[in-house]
Amino acid sequence: MGRSKFRLLGQSWLFWVAVILVFLAAQWVLMPRLTEFRRTAWVMFPSIMAIICLGLNFIYGFNGQFSLGQWGFYAIGAYASAVMTYRLKDQFTYPIEGLVFNTPPLLQRLIPLEQIDLFHFDLGQSGLLLAATLFGALLAAVISLGFGYIVLLRLGSDYFGIATLGFTVIVQTLLINSDRVIPETKGARGMVGIPQLTSFFWAFVFLVLAIVVIRNVLYSSVGRAVVSVREDELAARAMGIDTLKYKTIAFVIGSFFAGLAGALYAHLYAFLSPIYFGFVKSFDPMIIIVFGGLGNLTGTLLATFIWAITLEGMRIWLPQGFEAWRFVVYPIVLLLMMLLRPQGLMGKLELGFLRAPKWPQRATSKAEAPTAEARRETPEPQEAVQ
């Protein structure tokens, strides 16, 4: 395996340095060149969407359970964290000045900013976002544990899809009427006044975390047990895999990330409406993972950004008055995709650290098995007389 000792979440220091460089490049080089709208719609929103899609791919692509319920867990994470930050937003604030540099003129070609802020943020508000995100994600995970266990106990893949679709519809209905219990949500009118706390930093940190965690689980014995359920559930059971347990584990992990993505979404636009959490939109993550390739992490990541920039981006591209045409372009693109490349964008190919770790073959310990020659020398079994 690795040469150096340092490992965080199984990744070497080289990986983490690369992550930091990618972040800095995006933050200072890419983001200032985009308009405010595109920063949100093309970079931050797809980063959040990628988190829920990775979770869904873990459930559907790797474990083979067709789930349309992720949108419901996304809504739960969004509303739970939004209510939390709404109530606590004034109590936690602790600004940190950090460091501010004037950008050297030479660097300004690369970094189009007058000043570079380093560690300039509000510690209280960031802590609040972190807590709210974890709260939303854990709530989604706990609910998915209860719901998933009961439903998976009885229902196979397709029926599971219908049950989870039902879950999304139930969550939306509850949210429409939620103002009777939690007045802050304002029910069908939509929730306003959520602090806009999701910065690119947080979207990026949680996306990297989601990628690394899902990759790590996948390439472990737990992940192999999860994938074996997709491959052949009966054989998995006969090999000693508790398939119900691993279906539930996969569902809970996927829902945890859906809740996490929901929490980040709530604090991105600072507005939540139950209409957005309806079942029509719930197909978006499904479309993305099928487009990127079921059971492919690289494909999911690429597909999320492509989806956000092209398909969702058609709202910006298409001339005024033609926005509705995207519902014509959209299915045609998907249809072509299904016909021309049913295995998805990436197929089986994973890139970089998302590839499965290879183990060297061991030539040394060739056990004392009878070789093919030795077997041939053994006497023929007596032919039975019938």
Partner 1 sequence: MSQDTAQGPVVLDVQGLAKNFGGRLTTQGYEGGLWAVRDFDMTVSEGELVGLIGPNGAGKTTVFNMISGLISVTDGVVTFQDQSLVGKRPHAITQAGIGRTFQNIRLFPQLTVLDNVRIALHPHCGYGLLHSVWQGGRFATCEREVTEQAQDLLAIFDLQDRQDEIGSSLPYGEQRRLEIARALAAEPKLLLLDEPAAGMNPQEVHALMDLIQFIREKFDLTIVLIEHQMRVVMGICEWITVMDFGQVIARGTADDVSNDPKVIEAYLGRQGRGVGSS
Residue 46's CB is within 10 A of a number of other CB atoms, namely: 24
User: What minimum distance in Å lies between the beta carbon of 222 and partner 1?
Assistant: 5
Indicate the residue among 259 and 274 with the shorter CB distance to partner 1. Answer: 259
Residue 134's CB is within 10 A of a number of other CB atoms, namely: 15
User: What minimum distance in Å lies between the beta carbon of 129 and partner 1?
Assistant: 22
Indicate the residue among 42 and 246 with the shorter CB distance to partner 1. Answer: 246
User: Which 8-state DSSP code applies to residue 34?
Assistant: S
Indicate the residue among 9 and 17 with the shorter CB distance to partner 1. Answer: 9
Indicate the residue among 324 and 384 with the shorter CB distance to partner 1. Answer: 384
Burial 199-237 (b: 16+ CB within 10 A, else e): bbebbbbbbbebbbbbbebbbeeebebbbbbbeebeebe
- Reported as type and span, the H/E element at residue 203 is helix 200-218
CA distances from 261 to 27, 79, 198, 287, 323 (A): 20, 11, 11, 17, 27
Question: Do 68 and 161 form a contact (C-beta atoms < 8 A)?
Answer: yes
User: What minimum distance in Å lies between the beta carbon of 317 and partner 1?
Assistant: 38
User: What minimum distance in Å lies between the beta carbon of 242 and partner 1?
Assistant: 5
User: What minimum distance in Å lies between the beta carbon of 253 and partner 1?
Assistant: 8
Indicate the residue among 97 and 383 with the shorter CB distance to partner 1. Answer: 383
User: What minimum distance in Å lies between the beta carbon of 17 and partner 1?
Assistant: 18
Environment class of 184 (CB within 10 Å of its CB; exposed 0-12, middle 13-18, buried 19+) = middle
Indicate the residue among 185 and 300 with the shorter CB distance to partner 1. Answer: 300
Quick check: helix, strand or coil at residue 86? helix
Which residues in this chain contact partner 1 in the complex, by CB under 8 A? 1, 7, 9-10, 213, 216-217, 220-225, 227-228, 231-232, 234-243, 249, 358-359, 361-363, 365-367, 369-372, 375-376, 378, 380-386
